[in-house]
Every structure is written in structure tokens, then in C-alpha cells.
Amino acid sequence: MPEEDSPKFVFVTGGVMSGLGKGITAASLGRLLKNTGLDVTAVKIDPYLNVDAGTMNPYEHGEVYVLKDGAEVDLDLGNYERFLDVDMTSDHNVTTGKVYRSVIERERAGDYLGKTVQIIPHVTREIKQRIRGCAEGHDVCLIELGGTVGDIEGMPFLEAVRQMGNEEDDDDFLLVHVTLVPLTSKGEQKTKPTQHSVKALRELGLHPEVVVGRSEEPLEDETREKISLFCDVPEDAVVSAPDVDDIYRVPLVLEDEGLESYAMEELNVKARADDTSWREVVTQKQEGRVEVALAGKYDFEDAYLSVYEALKHAGLRHNVDVDVRWVETDRMDEGDFERLEAADALVVPGGFGERGTSGKLEAVRYARENGVPFLGLCFGFQMAVVEYARNVAGLEDAHSAEVDEGTPHPVIDLLPEQYDVEDLGGTMRLGDKETRIDEGTLAHELYGDDRAVERHRHRYEVNPEYIDDLEGAGLVFSGTSVSGNRMEILELPDHPFFVGTQFHPEFRSRPGDPSPPFVGLVDAAIDRREARGERDTAGKEKEEKKEMDVDVDVNVEEVT
């Protein structure tokens, strides 16, 4: 039997189709529960056979999000960290690969004492142990099951959920099902897909206690009544989740629907606080806007999701909307250069491989030479080093050894201690690392400290053999690793804002606690926009005065 102070488990499943927003729904519910003073954590279950997301192409699964312990995970973990304002670990991402690997290793070690190893009970027991391990010490644990009900990959996980439903007390277990409520061409909301989705769950022995209907518009009363009737849930447990223009407003929508109140009643927990800080941050009125160019090779927002979110957070800090304009570095054309010219700032994000490199170098050079506020992240930091080496330090054909093994000047390279490591994973720097920051630098001003802890995901470094050449040409490395042999932050003192970070500051950015480099970038973007606006106004007034002078001359001639 569960103990008196055992955690509450809230499972979130999805039906009809993928991409409905299960993760945002779960994260939003978690935010609402945290607002009441509850200690909330989360687990994301990914049914794919990969052990983690580290080897996945961003087009397949969006960005690879990095946790503090170096785990490479699904981007939904980023949403959980941002919404709940917590740091998670590898344990909070459960994959089929992790589960099966653990079970097989135990079988090889003889832990099952010669038993036939099966999905039930061995695999499901492993799943349950992982979930309960993450929940220990917390009031509520949210568990999102990736994929859609009916997917063959998800069957062992749904069976584990069914077993937990029987093993936990009724008020320690809640199942929330997120489904699609589509619109016909005549604007009619259809509930049949939801009915079939819930039927599929019930055939597996699971009965949802809350149904969240995702739709373009709020659910109509008739739609809500129909879902309640056919899916056997109370009407106040049918939650409308219409499309919104900002994911950070989803908790407010669900709060208006009474989701957290219903969940707390079902879980038999009471509020301990009334935290309104989230509402205050996300509902503040934005008084301006800036345009930021994002120069990358994946024309797919999810590939750079944390960068988009970090820019949004910095915009919240400055009360401005940040419009991101995509610049395709793989095949830069006239339109891409026009977007660069029109931008108030530029971000060159991380990435691996040769594709898009030349376009990134062109974008960096444009920003450096034209005073455009610039932030380079990881590979973007490295491309800033390469561009400076080529065009300022006089190191012709300088490059990264990752991209060009034959470059005469490998200003970006593996460090000597990495040369003999054959396993690619062994050369990766992952997770939280401390950076020492020099006083009197822009980086020190941004962080307000002489140290910072940020997350890393890279293999190549600034080559120590070229640091003197680069610094002699004016480039400043204002942040280094604790050992001093790894360059972590670069800047240009005579530029409005030119900063590069070998780490990924976007992974630690939160709506109420934005990343310092992004805050600095948006601040510089505002200054640039205002300055250009003043110049435009001055130019316009000059032209108008010139036209008036011409009119006066003409009139004088006519009188004469």
C-alpha cells in the first residue's frame, strides 16, 4: 500500500494524432499546481528505441535539449524546465532504449535468476521503478507518454500505467487524455475522433478522468456535453484548450477552465500558496518590437526551439516583442541578405557539420562590419572565431578542423587530450560547466559575476596555438574554463554588441529569469532600432526640407 506522504501521479496521454501539445498541456498543469505551492516534477516517456535524442536529426525530432548532467533529451524536457523553473536530469527522460538496455543488462548479469524475461512483469516493472524513482520526494509527478494511444511502441508503457493505477490509491493517480477536436469545413466541432481515442484507452484497461480537447476555437457547450456523455467523464472534467498565440498563456487558459482545481480535488491536495508571478510576467504589455535574424541551416523552428524561447524571455524582460526572421545559411539569396540588413540583431546558433557553414560566416562578417548586435552560440561562436581569423587576423583559409581537415590554420580543433579518444561520445563536452569571467568585460557586465555555470554540447574548441594571434588582432576572450585552456566567451570591445559563447545559454533561460547574453542582445537591438529610427526621421525631415526649398525657389521664379 502507498504511504501517507506518497507522491501523486498525473499521467498525460494523447490521442488521434501526434503534435497536439501534450507536453505543453502537462507543463501548464504542472505550472498551475506549482503556483499553489506544491512541489512538482515531471517525466517524459519517449517510446522510441533510441537510448536518448543525442543522435537524432533535428528534422526528425526537433532540437536536442541538454540537461545539467549532460543528458541529451527530447525538447519537451526544455518546456518542463521552463514552465516549472526546475533543473532535471537524465532520469526524467525514459526511453524504450533505456528500459530495454537495463533489462537486458540485468538478464546478462543473472539478476532474474534464470526466469524467462518478458514484457510483463520485467519491462513494466522497470518502467514503474523509473517513474517512482523520479517522483520520490515530490508532491506531484507529471508523466507525459509520448506518441499516440494505439502506437505499438507505447504498449508496454500504457500497461505499466494500468498497473500503477491499480497499485496506487485512487487519490494518488490521475489520468489526463489530450485529444483533437477537429472542425469541418462548415465550422462544426466533431467529437468522433475523441470518442474512438478514449475507446482505445479503455480497451487497454485505462479510463481517463480528464479529457482535454485541443481545437482551433474554444469547445462549444454542445461539444463538451457530447464528450462528457460518450467518454464517461463529468462535464467539468472536459477541458477546452483552443489555439493561443503564445504557449506561456496556456496555463492561464487552463486555469480559467478550472483544470488545476479539478485535478487537486481528485488528488485530494490543498493549496499552500497563491503565486501570481507567472501571470504577471506573461501578461505584461509589450511596448515595442525588435527584429532578430536567426541564421541557420534547419528551416524548422523546433530545431532551434530554445533559442526562440530565450529571445522571447529577453523580450519579456525589456517589454518588447521579438520577431525572429529566418536566414537560410545553406543557400543564401538576396532575400536572406535583405533580412540581415533589416534586422536589429543577429543570432548564429549551434550545429554540426559543413552544410550551411559558408552562409554563417557571411552572416557573422556582415554583423561585425556593419555594427549589427551579434550573438554566436556554440558553432556560431566557432564561426565567429574563424571569420575573425580570416578577415582581421590575416590567417588566410583559417577554418574549423571539423569542417576542413586540411585547413592551414585550424583555429578550431580538438584539444590535444582528445586526439586518442576513438569513441565520439568520449570527446563531447556535455552539461553544466563553470566559466570564469574577466572583470571589466562585457561578459562580466552581462552576468554581474566573475563566474557562470552554463550547459555545453560540443566537441571542438578554440585552438590554443592561435589565441595570441586572435587576441593580438583585437578579439577578446573574456571567459574561460576553470582550467584556463578552453575559451568560453568572446567579444569585440569596439562593437555595439558582439558576443559569442561556446556554451548554450539558451538552455538555462526562463520566462522570469532570462539568459544574460540574450538580455544583452535584445537591449542592443532596441538601441539599434531606436538609432536607426532617429536616422530615418532625420533623413526624412532633411528630404522634406529640401522639397520645401525647391517649392520656394519655383514660387519666386513664378513671381519674378
Rg (CA), the chain: 27
- CA 464 centroid distance within chain: 32
How buried is 490 (Cβ within 10 angstroms: 0-12 exposed, 13-18 middle, 19+ buried)? Answer: buried
DSSP state of 115: P
Q: Catalytic residue, from 313, 409, 458, 504: name it.
A: 504
436 near 481, Cβ under 8 Å?
yes
| Confidence (pTM) | 0.90
Compute the distance between CA of residue 160 and CA of residue 125 in angstroms, rounded to an integer: 7
For the chain, the residue count is 560
Active site residue 141: no
331 near 365, Cβ under 8 Å?
no
Paired with 325 in beta bridges are 293
- Alpha-carbon dihedral angle through residues 183, 184, 189, 191, given to the nearest 10 degrees: -100
Tell me the backbone φ, ψ of residue 88, rounded to 5 degrees.
Answer: -110, 175
431 near 455, Cβ under 8 Å?
yes
7: left (phi over 0), alpha (psi -120 to 50) or beta: beta
Q: How far is the CA of 332 from the CAs of 29, 100, 328, 340, 387, in angstroms? A: 42, 44, 6, 11, 17
Q: Kind of pairing, strands 72-73 and 65-66?
A: antiparallel
In order of start, what are the domains of the chain with their CATH numbers?
8-280 (3.40.50.300), 286-528 (3.40.50.880)
Angle at 191 between CA 185 and CA 195, to 5 degrees: 145
355 near 330, Cβ under 8 Å?
yes
215 near 183, Cβ under 8 Å?
yes
Compute the distance between CA of residue 402 and CA of residue 408 in angstroms, rounded to an integer: 13
- Number of H helices and E strands in the chain, helices first, is 18, 21
Which residue type sits at 87?
D
Question: What number of CA atoms fall less than 13 Å from residue 69's CA on the CB side?
Answer: 9
Closest CA to 506 of 497, 496, 519: 519
As a 3-state breakdown, the chain gives helix, strand, coil percent values, each rounded to 5, of 45, 20, 35
Q: Catalytic residue, from 260, 309, 362, 506: name it.
A: 506
Q: Tell me how crowded residue 496 is: count the other CB atoms within 10 A of its CB.
A: 17
How buried is 220 (Cβ within 10 angstroms: 0-12 exposed, 13-18 middle, 19+ buried)? Answer: middle
Q: Catalytic residue, from 266, 313, 378, 409: name it.
A: 378
pLDDT in tens, the chain (560 residues): 344 578 999 999 999 988 899 999 999 999 999 999 999 999 999 999 999 888 887 777 789 999 999 999 999 999 999 999 999 999 999 999 999 999 999 999 999 998 999 999 999 999 999 999 999 999 999 999 999 999 999 999 999 999 999 999 999 999 999 999 999 988 899 999 999 999 999 999 999 999 999 999 999 999 999 999 999 999 999 999 999 999 999 999 999 999 999 999 999 999 999 999 999 999 988 899 999 999 998 878 888 999 999 999 999 999 999 999 999 998 888 888 889 999 999 999 998 878 889 999 999 999 999 999 999 999 999 999 999 999 999 999 999 999 999 999 999 998 765 555 554 444 688 999 999 999 999 999 999 999 999 999 999 999 999 999 999 999 999 999 999 999 999 999 999 999 999 999 999 999 999 999 999 999 999 999 999 886 655 555 556 555 555 554 544 444 43
Compute the distance between CA of residue 372 and CA of residue 366 in angstroms, rounded to an integer: 8
Which residue type sits at 206?
L
Secondary structure, 3-state, 156-174: HHHHHHHHHHHHCCHHHEE
Tell me the backbone φ, ψ of residue 117, rounded to 5 degrees.
Answer: -85, 125
539 near 414, Cβ under 8 Å?
no
Q: Kind of pairing, strands 320-328 and 288-296?
A: parallel
